[in-house]
Amino acid sequence: MEYRLSHRAQNLRRCMMDAFHLRDAKDMIFFNSGQPAADLYPRGLMRAVLDKLLAEEPQILAYPGSQGDEELREALAERQNRLDAGAGIRAEQIVVTNGGTGGADLLAQLFVDPGDAVLSETPTFPETLDCFAKAGARLAGVSMDADGPLPDELEHLAQKCRPRFFYVIPNFQNPTGRCTSPERRGAVAEIARRHGFFIVEDDPYRELNFDAAPPPSYHSLAPDCTISMGSLSKTIAPGIRIGWLVLPEELVERAVMTLKATALCYPALLHRAAARVLEHPQFDAHIDELRRDLKRRCRLLTELMSAQIPTEWLTWETPLGGMFLWCRLHGGVSAMNFAVRARDRWHVAFFPGVCFTPNYEGEEFSLRLTFARQTDAQMAEGVRRIAAALKSFQQN
Ligand SMILES: Cc1ncc(COP(=O)(O)O)c(C=O)c1O
């Protein structure tokens, strides 16, 4: 049988990260998965709220509406407004999606026709870009420095490509860990407004600051030209698949129609349970524990690396939150060759920087390590292996 695949299916890019995921590889130490350690999922809270819901609210198992559970949308709006004074989000603007990735896919369905340009920071989180690429987007990247995306480059690409939108991760960015400065946010919003494209602000790491909270969101600075994406994958658990979009109210009906024609609706039981977890008096303590744990892990990783890896071989940017350490190799060692050798010979897995570029070009000497999930002993052994693998390159 010969199948004729749709253009959409043909547009799908093979995700470069897959080669380094290797979930069932024995003896592998992983520095590649951006999710909280399993013992930090708030399982006690979830069990309690699920038990109560199933015992007392059987209607929660009926077909839900397509926009997402109202109590969850209220809880999300309330929390966003508390974390980001001035966000002024209303529950009616929120559409609950299948994780943040479902939100990206919904945006692609709403706004991207084949050949449309979509800009993103580079490097960035590639699996969101896959949603835009599937819809036929032409992707282009705006380089970053420590303060965020470069306004001159954005201006140039805005003139050249007339993008539909600019996808950004302003807080504890994946993969660089950087936070876009308030001035840079202002400059980006000004360019977006002048050229008539909108900013898609993906913000799953906002609550994971080690110390100071991040600056006000694009949404609070420029609500007229921003669509926000959120996710509970990093603060509750990725397996519940809850994300959301904050849309201008006039777009909500179209978004809900699109979502209905995609999945009909998503699990209200999990929506309502997540709402009760967010509203629970112990949830803030859970977030504090997550923050403290990530800060401690980040310090442990950088201390282990400082002790074993000379700065002539590898340096990194110390993040102020999130889950990622963005590293740079020196002496002309290619990060792809290094990652492949480290995986195959030393059984330690991480992503080379090129995985995070919109068109899989550049970032030849960069790599991303995640500190979110290993045990301390695995981290120590993993750094030992990384140092040994690097040494083997120095000896060649
Ligand atoms: C910036 C960013 N957006 C979205 C996602 C995907 O999240 P979700 O599990 O909500 O689909 C991730 C996951 O790593 C991410 O880093």
Q: Which domains are assigned to the chain?
A: 9-41+285-394 (3.90.1150.10), 46-281 (3.40.640.10)
Residues 6 or more apart from 62 whose CB is under 8 A from it? 268
Reading the block at residue 89, the tokens are 């989000």
Measured by CA distance, the residue closest to atom 14 of ligand 1 is 34
Distance of CA 322 from the midpoint of ligand 1 (Å): 12
How many CB atoms are located within 10 Å of the residue 322 CB?
A: 30
Reading the block at residue 68, the tokens are 């997402």
Measured by CA distance, the residue closest to atom 16 of ligand 1 is 174
The residues with which 245 forms a beta bridge, in sequence order, are 95, 229
Block mean pLDDT (10 aa), the chain, length 396 = 88 79 78 88 96 96 96 98 94 98 98 98 96 96 98 98 98 98 98 98 98 96 96 97 97 98 95 98 97 97 98 97 98 94 93 95 97 95 97 81
Distance CA 26, CA 333 (A): 27
Give 148-200 pLDDT, tens digit per residue.
999 999 999 999 999 999 999 999 999 999 999 999 999 999 999 999 999 99
Ligand 1: residue of 233, 240, 242, 370 to mutate (most ligand atoms within 8 A of CB) is 233
Residues 6 or more apart from 380 whose CB is under 8 A from it? 304
Q: pLDDT at position 23, please?
A: 63
Ligand 1: residue of 125, 129, 235, 323 to mutate (most ligand atoms within 8 A of CB) is 125
Distance of CA 309 from the midpoint of ligand 1 (Å): 30
Residue 169 CA, closest ligand 1 atom number: 1
Cβ–Cβ under 8 Å, residues 36 and 237: yes
Distance CA 89, CA 234 (A): 21
Give 271-303 pLDDT, tens digit per residue.
999 999 999 999 999 999 999 999 999 999 999
